[in-house]
Amino acid sequence: MFLPPDLASIREFRRALRQSLEENTFISKDIQQIELAADEALTNSISANYNSSSEETIICRWIVDNSKFTLWIVDYGSGLKKEKIEEQVMEAKPSSLQEFLKKVKTYQEGKCEVLPNRGKLTQHRNLGKGLLIMQSLMDSVKIMYHCKEGRISSDPTDSSIRGSIIELAFDSKKH
């Protein structure tokens, strides 16, 4: 699926993703988890493209193999910075949904970003917790980078990064 870096793309993406998961007999609870994590990943990619002044198309591709779902989202932002990844890894996971929501609300207060929505710049509450949300909902989250000369790297300090590749994996048999 090829999407413009615009928040309006999220609705089309979610609709196609939901239809694919339903056709492959995923249950509603699992679909909701996958949708939320995928939504976070796509929003991060839209933000990355916009903040890098890139109007390149964002590429979303997924595979369903029995109970296993894998999604890749490729953007043309500057890549997820090493400090951001380390910050998320070091943060203690909340012990309950209420604790998580409280943390998100506290973090969100006063943090806003401008992103394109239907071609117009609009205020968007950037929670800054997308990676943490993805990690708590999916079985695996992998961050890679596409670089010059078609190389793929896992090093966020690589000087030839052209954008990020986010890989999300979910196995419904584990849930």
Question: What's the one-letter identity of residue 147?
Answer: C
Rounded CA-CA distance 171/66 in Å is 9
How far is residue 18 from each of residues 28, 52, 80, measured CA to CA in Å? Answer: 9, 30, 27
Could you tell me which residues are beta bridge partners of residue 152? 146
- SS3 state of residue 109: coil
Identify the DSSP state of 140.
Answer: E
User: How many helices (DSSP H) and strands (DSSP E) are in the chain?
Assistant: 5, 8
Q: Which residues of 122-161 are buried (b: 16+ CB within 10 A; e: fewer)?
A: eebebbbbbbbbbbbbbeebebbbbbeeeeeeeebeeeeb
Tens of pLDDT, residues 125-168: 655 568 888 998 999 999 999 999 899 999 988 889 999 999 99
Which residue is associated with the tokens 């596409």? 146
pLDDT tens digits along 71-126: 999 999 876 665 555 555 555 666 666 776 676 666 555 566 778 788 887 877 65
Q: What is the pLDDT of residues 156-166, one digit of tens each?
A: 888 899 999 99
